[in-house]
Structure 1
């Protein structure tokens, strides 16, 4: 397997991890009240992402120090992306029937995917 294949597998692993953590494993506690800055449900949700990222990065042989740094930064970034989307959506009382609701969801998801691309970029340089 060449380097490009490994890189694409890492990106795919992050995408699958995101699908599971962001959609299948979220519950009402993680969602309700997320517009408040310090929200334990959002922290738990970002923590789920961090745990799964540990697994992904470990499978790809990431050195422990880099793995820890990447996961901590991902936790902080994920926490803040979700908080910003929640704050924006709640302040405007956005509903799924409104275009701006979907703009917020799409922007949130795009920022998460860009986070993974940055993580992979850093990983490549290790």
Structure 2
């Protein structure tokens, strides 16, 4: 396997591990409360945790700092808005975990985050190599 392809797979795996921790282990009550409001400090902090984790992942694979800075800003904006859209929709529909629509919203949220990581890996391959 060519070195860049192996590194892309490593990058995607590390981003998935980062996502698991940032989304499921490192959220505080402040990050989880009131997520249906757009200007939500907790959501901003949560997106920041994701950016810090991604920065560490990109440092591990030897990425230039300028790329990390640019991709971090983009990830923060995208993550913040994906999470807002899911929370706003879920609040508007009053979704609960016992409803299929709740899980569809959660699944779409996770899909969009994963597609973001694929785009980040593509950008790394094109602009940071």
What TM-score comes out, normalization by structure 2 length?
0.95
Q: Give 1:46 deviation, angstroms.
A: 0.3
Task: Indicate whether 1:72 and 2:90 are aligned.
Answer: no
Question: Which residue is 1:14 aligned to?
Answer: 15
Task: Indicate whether 1:122 and 2:118 are aligned.
Answer: no
SS state at 1:95 partner: coil
CA distance in 2, matches of 1:33, 1:8: 36
After superposition, give the CA deviation of every residue in 1:55-74 in whole Å (9 maximum; x if it has no partner). 01111111111110001100
Structure 1: 5+ residue runs without aligned partners? Answer: none
CA distance in 2, matches of 1:10, 1:81: 21
What TM-score comes out, normalization by structure 1 length?
0.97
Structure 2: 5+ residue runs without aligned partners? Answer: none
Question: Which residue is 1:95 aligned to?
Answer: 96
CA distance in 1, matches of 2:89, 2:100: 13
CA distance in 2, matches of 1:75, 1:110: 16
